Homo-oligomer: A and B are copies of this chain.
Amino acid sequence: MEYTKNFDIRNGRNLTMLVDFYELTMGNGYLESGAGNTIAYFDMFFRKIPDGGGYCIMAGVQQIIEYLSNLKFTNDDIEYLREKNIFSEKFLDYLKNFEFCCDVWAIPEGNPVFPNEPLVVVRGPAIQAQFIETMILLTINHQTLIATKANRICRAAKGRPIMEFGSRRAQGYDGAIYGARAAVIGGCDSTACTITEQMFGIPAVGTMAHSWIQLFSSEYESFKAWADVYPDNCVLLIDTYNVLKSGLPNAIKVFNEVLLPKGYRPKGVRIDSGDITYLTQKCRKILDEAGFSDVNIVVSNSLDEFIIRDVLSQGAKIDSFGVGERLITAKSEPVFGGVYKLVAVEDDNRNIIPKIKISENEEKITNPGFKKIFRIFDKTDNKAIADLITLQEEVIDQTESMELFDPVFTWKKKRIKDFYTKELLVKIFDKGKLVYESPDVMEIKNIVKEETEKFWPAVLRFENPHNYYIDLSKGLWDLKQQLLHEYSSEYEE
């Protein structure tokens, strides 16, 4: 069955009004003060990688596309806004006839991304570019957070499949649905969330809960009933009463009595509580001795990358993991702090006037201007060396050597040669027209695999990783310094 690529359109859900109210008060203000059609440039970027990791995984672009393709204010929306008594009829007319006309660039989903580089760039009339702030942030922040967390958890599992199990603890319905999407992008193999298979073609999986076992007169009867119904895909949950004294013996009994006589091999046992290392080692041994060395041991129960690493390093015998609440909420750091900042405007002659947001906190100072990003690879080993953020008009001569320098400690320099570059930002809307086709989720998952392999293992560590370089071009650095000096002289003591 063809899955439905676009759930919200299929379901007719219109998220246009999911917008911070100040985008509307500002929009009305821009229009009323004559600045509504000023061409503005906004960058969406983040400042810090969650959990002290070495990179993030870009996710959410498909949903941005769906949102931007379907911006539409209904008559009810206009009526609601009119009754707030603060918007002009001119503004309401503008919304009523809203036609999205911005240019939008984004880093395609699945790419490793780093702090301070624009993940999304928007160019368009201030009133429009401002309006879409909320949904761009909400979408990219959420999915990038979960994809990044999932990628950490999958790395900890060292190739063992991870099933996403978190729907019941997600923060809202979309937290479950798009969270599962992002989790699979980040590396999970499947999800328990059924609707995501219909929407995205992600495999939905699941077996039984403890209630199945409790509902029958005994654990043995419940296993037997299950094996009768699902002889070719029999995974039994063995920790309802006592894994070693009851669950596993009953499972093996049912494997022998029900499945083997019918010519089926059992698939697995699942453990959802207790001392994972001890129990899985014991179970593996007992299963092997009973002739079931092909039966998988599946483990769940409040797992994350640290617990998975620990139990594996202690020799736990686990074939796959179900990971729930700590993945679907990114529990250890549940906020991805992406921001959306004005970086330039155009004057009446279409000259780009760069803008900077200063702050007493140096990390919060923005990179001004209309920019692009080059990922630089070493020709000899095809590994990524650094990302270079440049102004739009800058060109990199790949035949020459190039000097990179640290944007803070500028005396830290590195001259590179024999490199090639890849531009990261791709145009997805041209004057409001969609010009990009989003890959399927399973293709994006492959992009993650391919692109992360281009980084040195030191960057991929999930604690104390090597800091990958995000450098500014000389042109961008000079512009930033110039703007900073202008502002600081204005506010000197």
Establish whether residues B138 and A214, one from each chain, have CB atoms under 8 Å apart when the complex forms.
no
Establish whether residues B126 and A141, one from each chain, have CB atoms under 8 Å apart when the complex forms.
no
Alpha-carbon gap, A334 to B146, bound state (A): 13
Establish whether residues B206 and A25, one from each chain, have CB atoms under 8 Å apart when the complex forms.
yes
Considering only CB atoms, which chain B residue lies closest to A19 in the complex? Answer: B194
Establish whether residues B208 and A167, one from each chain, have CB atoms under 8 Å apart when the complex forms.
no
10 A-B contacts (beta carbon < 8 Å): A19-B194, A21-B204, A22-B207, A138-B172, A171-B172, A210-B357, A211-B342, A214-B342, A214-B355, A331-B335
Considering only CB atoms, which chain B residue lies closest to A141 in the complex? Answer: B169
Nearest 3 CB-CB pairs, A to B? A172-B174, A22-B206, A21-B206
Residues of A within 8 A of B (CB): 1, 4, 11-15, 17-26, 28-30, 32-33, 35, 38, 40, 42, 76-77, 79-80, 83, 86, 126, 130, 133-134, 137-138, 141-142, 145-146, 165, 167-179, 192-195, 197-198, 204-212, 214-216, 225-226, 228-230, 233, 240-242, 245-246, 273-274, 325-326, 329-331, 334-338, 340-342, 345, 355, 357-361, 364, 487, 490-491
Establish whether residues B358 and A241, one from each chain, have CB atoms under 8 Å apart when the complex forms.
yes
Considering only CB atoms, which chain B residue lies closest to A243 in the complex? Answer: B360
Alpha-carbon gap, A240 to B178, bound state (A): 34
- By a CB distance below 8 angstroms, the chain B residues around A357 are 210, 214, 240
Considering only CB atoms, which chain B residue lies closest to A212 in the complex? Answer: B26
A447 to chain B, nearest CB (A): 22
Alpha-carbon gap, A436 to B194, bound state (A): 30
- The answer, among B30, B40, B215, B335, for a CB contact under 8 Å with A345, is B215
- The answer, among B26, B197, B207, B274, for a CB contact under 8 Å with A80, is B197
Establish whether residues B77 and A215, one from each chain, have CB atoms under 8 Å apart when the complex forms.
no
Alpha-carbon gap, A233 to B192, bound state (A): 49
- By a CB distance below 8 angstroms, the chain B residues around A360 are 273-274
- By a CB distance below 8 angstroms, the chain B residues around A491 are 241-242, 245-246
Alpha-carbon gap, A23 to B4, bound state (A): 22
- By a CB distance below 8 angstroms, the chain B residues around A194 are 17-21, 24
Alpha-carbon gap, A326 to B333, bound state (A): 11
- By a CB distance below 8 angstroms, the chain B residues around A242 are 491
Establish whether residues A273 and B359, one from each chain, have CB atoms under 8 Å apart when the complex forms.
yes
Establish whether residues A230 and B273, one from each chain, have CB atoms under 8 Å apart when the complex forms.
no
Establish whether residues B12 and A12, one from each chain, have CB atoms under 8 Å apart when the complex forms.
yes
A59 to chain B, nearest CB (A): 12
Alpha-carbon gap, A94 to B455, bound state (A): 51
Alpha-carbon gap, A146 to B175, bound state (A): 14
Establish whether residues B193 and A18, one from each chain, have CB atoms under 8 Å apart when the complex forms.
yes
Establish whether residues B17 and A170, one from each chain, have CB atoms under 8 Å apart when the complex forms.
no
A282 to chain B, nearest CB (A): 15
Considering only CB atoms, which chain B residue lies closest to A205 in the complex? Answer: B21
Establish whether residues A206 and B20, one from each chain, have CB atoms under 8 Å apart when the complex forms.
yes
Establish whether residues B168 and A172, one from each chain, have CB atoms under 8 Å apart when the complex forms.
no
- By a CB distance below 8 angstroms, the chain B residues around A169 are 137-138, 141, 335-337
- By a CB distance below 8 angstroms, the chain B residues around A325 are 335, 337
- By a CB distance below 8 angstroms, the chain B residues around A134 are 167-168
- The answer, among B13, B26, B76, for a CB contact under 8 Å with A198, is B76
- By a CB distance below 8 angstroms, the chain B residues around A22 are 192, 206-209
Considering only CB atoms, which chain B residue lies closest to A38 in the complex? Answer: B215
Considering only CB atoms, which chain B residue lies closest to A191 in the complex? Answer: B21
